[in-house]
Structure 1
Amino acid sequence: MDIELIEGDITAQHTDAIVNAANSSLLGGGGVDGAIHRKGGPEILAETRMLRASKYGRGLPVGQAVATTAGRLPARWVVHTVGPVHSTDEDRSELLRACYENSLRVADELGAKSVAFPLISAGVYRWPVEDAVRQALTVLRAAEPVNLRKAALVLYGADTAAAARRVAEAL
């Protein structure tokens, strides 16, 4: 699978699947989650409400992933995953890697050939950017999907993109 680092807006990515760094409610929020819901339109919210009413009444657990339509986004699906909040007292790296692993699995099972990821947990969940990139690339580089041929890590802002390139070169 080809892996690309892109500086940009995840809602503008022309891929089969876009990964949403969702909150456990699946009903929208701030950051990436809010942008995906706003630009994707009410179709995404309608499907996430159905998921809450059926399988995820208590919300989506951290590290898990589930798909919905992409609504008005330039993708076919949105794969929602809930990242862990960074902690200096507890190593939650395994949960962060699970977000990428489970999102890849869901996208691959859907038949997606391409997927775009945000830098999960690196925003309001305060995961240090360099380590968030390291965790993401560790999973993406080890993946052996059946259908997926391309994964993009979409980085918001020049500073984040520069840090990601430095980490990628060092790995």
Structure 2
Amino acid sequence: MPTLTAVHGDITQQHVDAVVNAANNRMRGGGGVDGAIHRAGGPAVLADCIARFPHGLATGDAGWTTAGDLPATWIIHTVGPNFAAGERDRSLLESCYRRSLEVADELSARSISFPLISAGVYGWPLDDAIDAAVEVLQGTGTAVDDIRLVAFSAPTFARLARRLGQAQG
């Protein structure tokens, strides 16, 4: 069973095999985590997105690109549901985590960092976003050894750590 931990920090600075990007359907970069990952990864990330996903990616699905200048090997892009726009089917959110782990296994990744998908500008309620992430990541079989849920803000990290029963120091 993989180790699931909460991390307080910047997902673009995680030294892991794969970093998960909370992307939009267009796969051309955006705001929030998506924008930060594209900026830190550099132009190679966008070029690979255009080549691999000429028609974008469906909500709940995942695919990979180079990590460009990030300290990772791959970026696994997944498109979460936009709660604020009325996409409230939790199974789509759960699918993002499950599909990302499937892609990680296809790549033989052993370590992976996730943001809380859809919990930012897409407006998914934070506690439910945390519950969905933890339930799927703890309940899905994978060869990944090290799974990290990375929170940029201290209050979100505290909630994640509490949910995982993890010390917050």
Q: Structure 1-normalised TM-score?
A: 0.92
Q: What do residues 83-109 of structure 1 show as CA deviations (whole Å, max 9, x unaligned)? A: 001269774111000000000100111
- The residue type paired with residue 149 of structure 2 is L
1:7 aligns with 2:8: yes
Matches of residues 84-103 of structure 1 in structure 2 within 5 Å?
84-86=81-83, 91-103=88-100
- The residue type paired with residue 157 of structure 1 is S
Alignment partner of 1:167 out of 154, 163, 169 = 163
What does residue 39 of structure 2 align with?
A: 38
| Inter-CA distance 88–36: structure 2 relative to 1 (3 Å threshold) | closer
What does residue 147 of structure 2 align with?
A: 151
| Inter-CA distance 24–167: structure 2 relative to 1 (3 Å threshold) | same
Q: Percent identity?
A: 50
Q: Which runs of 4+ in 1 moved over 4 A?
A: 87-91
Shift of 1:51: 1.9
1:76 aligns with 2:77: no
| Inter-CA distance 61–88: structure 2 relative to 1 (3 Å threshold) | closer
Q: What do residues 23-78 of structure 1 show as CA deviations (whole Å, max 9, x unaligned)? A: 1111100000000000100111110011233xxx2x20000000000000000000
Structure 2 runs not aligned, ≥5 long: none
Shift of 1:168: 2.6
CA RMSD of aligned residues (A): 1.5
Equivalenced residue count is: 164
State which drifts further: 159-168 or 118-127: 159-168
Structure 1 runs not aligned, ≥5 long: none
Q: Secondary structure at the match of 1:16?
A: strand
**Contact 1:17–1:107 (Cα < 8 Å) also in 2:** yes
Shift of 1:166: 2.6
Q: Secondary structure at the match of 2:53?
A: helix
**Contact 1:134–1:168 (Cα < 8 Å) also in 2:** no
What does residue 25 of structure 1 align with?
A: 26
Shift of 1:167: 2.6
| Inter-CA distance 2–157: structure 2 relative to 1 (3 Å threshold) | same
